[in-house]
Amino acid sequence: MKMKVGVLGSGSMGSGIAQIAASKGHSVKLYDNDRSSLTRSIEKTESILNRLIEKGKISKVDKDNTLGNIITVSSINDFSDVDIVIEAIVEDLGIKKAVFNQLDGICKPDCILASNTSSFSLSSIASSCLKSERVIGIHFFNPAPIMPLVEIIPALQTSERVVNVSRDLIDSWGKVTVIAKDTPGFIVNRIARPFYGEALRIYEEGMASFATIDWALTHKGGFRMGPFTLMDFIGNDVNYAVTESVFKAFYFDPRYKPSFTQKSYAEAGWLGKKSGKGYYDYSNDNTHEEVDKDADQANLIFKRILLMLINEAADALFLNIATKEDIDLAMTKGVNYPKGLLAWADEIGVSECVSGLDQLYDEYKEDRYRCSPLLRRMGKVNAKFFD
């Protein structure tokens, strides 16, 4: 299925999406209102492709074909003949709605208008278009050419044809697609909140240091990165902003409450790797701090964070955010969790998960630790998520 693809925004995400589409043989029009950004995008893409040649991943012919399939355009009006536009601009709802309203008047009637937003309501974005049924969320993860997962998010208005065509297209690019309900954070950014939030809470209680908490998750849990290493990689400003956005979007549900520690680090400019200092100091490659390798403590830390993640995954299923298969697929392919969280719950035992969450609730008496009704119901009859 060859389509004419428009990519709006030439930052790292837009450039990555353009690279994928072009490498799969689609003709791509790349637009950004900053001409210098377009130049940098093409230069960066060429550099990435050269590295892939050096590694033996692609040939020079592949590189030339990919670059040949991308043209930069000087006006958004040049999207008038494309079959799909994927927007990857700044995360500002007002700007996105204005742009989609503009695209609705420029693009041909059957052109799909897709947003790469990670946090905003697709139904709200679609409301800015007269032909709102053609608007959909296609959420890639950074870096887009490498990360396998793409969340497909229909707005309330989205037609079934647009959902099917969009998913078939992204599947044909070799990506793993999951369908998510149009709710804050979709699947991954919703379910992953406790990985950061509960780790910060454990630190604030004085239970363990950043390095010890990271060690507990990587060595006991099998996670590729600990939460503090990952937050430093993402950037404390970005991670805090997402947490704050999700917290507000869920009407201040305490499960998503941001951390004063992360707020302070962001305000101090201790953003992580990109600023040279975050939870760890990167100025002299001094990223390793002393770790308390007490096995019992590590198990407590790992179990507490895992229970919160499982609870979030179960609640997403309870509220029909996605299927159980897509939830587990999203967490393993989108954020590289060692196991699907619902399958992990089966392994531990659902009743054991309920007991652990109830112990946390009994200790803190905070709604943050309330057990999902689905977990509680399943625990009573020793049910499993998967056979």
Could you say which of 15, 118, 132, 245 is catalytic?
118
Report yes or no: 152 and 177 within 8 Å, Cβ to Cβ: yes
Specify whether 164 is catalytic: no
Could you say which of 189, 245, 259, 311 is catalytic?
189
Q: Show Cβ contacts of residue 23 under 8 Å, excluding neighbours closer than 6 positions.
A: 62, 65, 66, 69, 145
Q: Show Cβ contacts of residue 237 under 8 Å, excluding neighbours closer than 6 positions.
A: 266, 271
Q: Which two tokens stand for residue 68?
A: 């040949």
Specify whether 151 is catalytic: yes
Sign (positive or negative) of CA dihedral 277, 280, 282, 286: positive
Coil, strand, or helix at residue 124? helix
Specify whether 189 is catalytic: yes
Amino acid at 267: E
Specify whether 10 is catalytic: no
Could you say which of 151, 236, 259, 311 is catalytic?
151
The CA–CA distances, whole Å, from 314 to 182, 185, 299, 387 equal: 17, 15, 22, 16
Q: Which two tokens stand for residue 319?
A: 């509220």
Could you say which of 41, 139, 166, 372 is catalytic?
139
Q: Which two tokens stand for residue 1?
A: 């299925």
Residue 376 CB neighbours (<10 A): 17
User: Active-site residue numbers?
Assistant: 118, 139, 151, 189
